[in-house]
Amino acid sequence: MRGKKNWIAEAIKKPGALRKELGAKPGKPIPAAKLEAAAKKPGKLGQRARFAMTLKGMK
């Protein structure tokens, strides 16, 4: 992975899947409370929410 310019783009396999599962409107940020609640859930939903929170911290 070292040296690749857009490595994070490859980590996101299904863009928009979390937004669709949470029912968040396109173009608006996902509310933090909704994201935190989803992060506690098991399975893909929780995994995607936790990954989104990780990416949110990377600026």
Tens-digit pLDDT profile for residues 21-33? 999 988 899 999 9
Write out pLDDT tens, residues 33-55. Answer: 999 999 999 999 999 999 999 98
- Residue 12: pLDDT band with limits 50, 70, 90: confident
Angle 2-43-58 from CA coordinates, rounded to 5°: 35
Task: Read off the tokens for 7.
Answer: 């490595």
Query: What is the rounded CA–CA span in Å between residue 29 and residue 55?
Result: 13
Query: What is the rounded CA–CA span in Å between residue 42 and residue 59?
Result: 27
pLDDT in the model for residue 9: 80
Q: Strand, helix or coil at 29?
A: coil
The yes-or-no verdict on residue 2 having pLDDT over 90 is: no
